[in-house]
Chains A and B, each alone.
Chain A
């Protein structure tokens, strides 16, 4: 059974036409199923877990990137497939998964090409693409319980990538997409350009980049708490223990996927 999880915003008038076309296409393909709409009074976790209990084998997030990320976090501990129907034109995750639009998403669901995807886990939360830490002053990073990384500049940025930086970076030309490797990549990033350095290139930004592969990362801060942002969606406070969970979810993807 297919279970379609509709996000709250798709009740808006501007999505009505696309939603009708999508529902008709799903019926044509014979993969229509139970639909539940998320509202402020209904808990998404309960809805999805109840559907799985009732025999749903595929949970389809209908909405935008945040809808899919929500579904991934709920479904990660169950062995069902996850699909995605994007209703916003600017969906980054649709491009990563090789989905052109909502109708293409229906065809992809029907073809059911399933890929096992790694997830990262930060404390009790899963993340799909990345962790970003905008303020690093006083940060302590320990990798694989073997070595410590110290940052000499307090205005550096720090990121941990599972599948890439595509949720953090607007310009698609600057996306880094990592294949499904069994480790995370810790990136120390150069300071964001400010003042006149925005306009005058003084040095090569690549000079300041550091990269470390690691399976287990402990992020803490001395005498303070720092914000750790998962997939640009959830914010945790340090200390945070980060690990990789290989082949954690079954994601339905298109042929032109980037992962």
Chain B
């Protein structure tokens, strides 16, 4: 399955999500996904996927979350671990610590917690080649 977010540009949402937690649904427990996840409803517990996570406006997550790339426009109470790009939109709210490779925060976003980025550590410079 193709990644939900483009690697080189602002994340865009595609329709290839394997999991959609819709507005009329509440999830409680440990959700470990292998595909892309879209959250529009409520999640309590833990949420983890190897692929991308799109948290829509109006959604509420009370859980630690982990994903390859994330786009956050909802409310998160919990720690966030992102292995790629974390994009927090103006409606996004995160109360918890953030660990990510790259981050983009829009005006109006709310963050309460520590934030650590490690883009440079994750991308070591190649040593120059000697002929």
- Footprint of B on A, CB under 8 Å? 146-153, 156, 188, 190, 207-213
Contacts and interface: CB of A to CB of B under 8 A. Distances in A.
Contact residue range for chain B? 20 to 34
Given A147-B31, A152-B24, A211-B18, 13 more contacts: A146-B31, A147-B28, A148-B29, A149-B27, A150-B28, A151-B25, A152-B26, A153-B24, A188-B24, A209-B22, A210-B25, A210-B41, A212-B21
Nearest to A207: B23
A190 B30 CA distance: 25
Nearest to A181: B18
A188 B35 contact: no
Given A207-B40, A210-B20, A211-B20, A147 B30 contact: yes
A188 B24 CA distance: 8
B45 interface: yes
Residue among B21, B25, B45 with the most chain A CB within 10 A?
B25
B118 interface: no
A209 B33 contact: no
Contact of B29 (A147, A152, A211, A213): A147
Interface of B: 17-35, 40-41, 45
Contacts of A156: 24
A213 B30 CA distance: 14
User: Top 3 A-B pairs ranked by shortest CB distance?
Assistant: A147-B29, A210-B22, A150-B26
B41 A146 contact: no
B23 A213 contact: no
Contacts of A150: 25-28
B24 A213 contact: no
B48 to A, nearest CB: 11
B32 A210 contact: no
B19 A213 contact: yes
19 contacts: A146-B31, A148-B27, A148-B28, A149-B25, A149-B27, A151-B24, A152-B24, A152-B25, A152-B26, A188-B24, A188-B25, A207-B23, A207-B40, A208-B23, A210-B20, A210-B22, A211-B18, A211-B19, A212-B19
